[in-house]
Amino acid sequence: MTQDLSFSKALARLEEIVKKLESQDLELEEGVSLIAEGIALHKKCQEKLNGAKNRIDKLLNVKKEVN
């Protein structure tokens, strides 16, 4: 499920999960399931951020080499 989400959709879902965990009286199983999904989403968001950072770093290095 987390594989095909864009960064913004994954972040929005992560925010939904946090709200559910903070505001509702959840059954243990549902809470654990939400935490597991949240961890997977966090990992996916971090990977996308790292990828974007690497691309930006490469662009900045290319610009420095040209100047």
DSSP 8-class letter at 39 = H
pLDDT of residue 49: 96
* Vertex 54: Cα angle to 63 and 45 (nearest 5): 145
Written as tens digits, the pLDDT of the chain (67 aa) is 566 899 999 999 999 999 999 987 899 999 999 999 999 999 999 999 999 999 999 998 877 777 6
Question: What is the spatial distance between Cα 31 and Cα 34, in angstroms, rounded to a whole number?
Answer: 5
Phi-psi region of 4 (alpha: psi -120 to 50; beta: other; left: phi over 0): alpha
Domains, in order of start, for the chain? 7-66 (1.10.287)
pTM more than 0.85: no
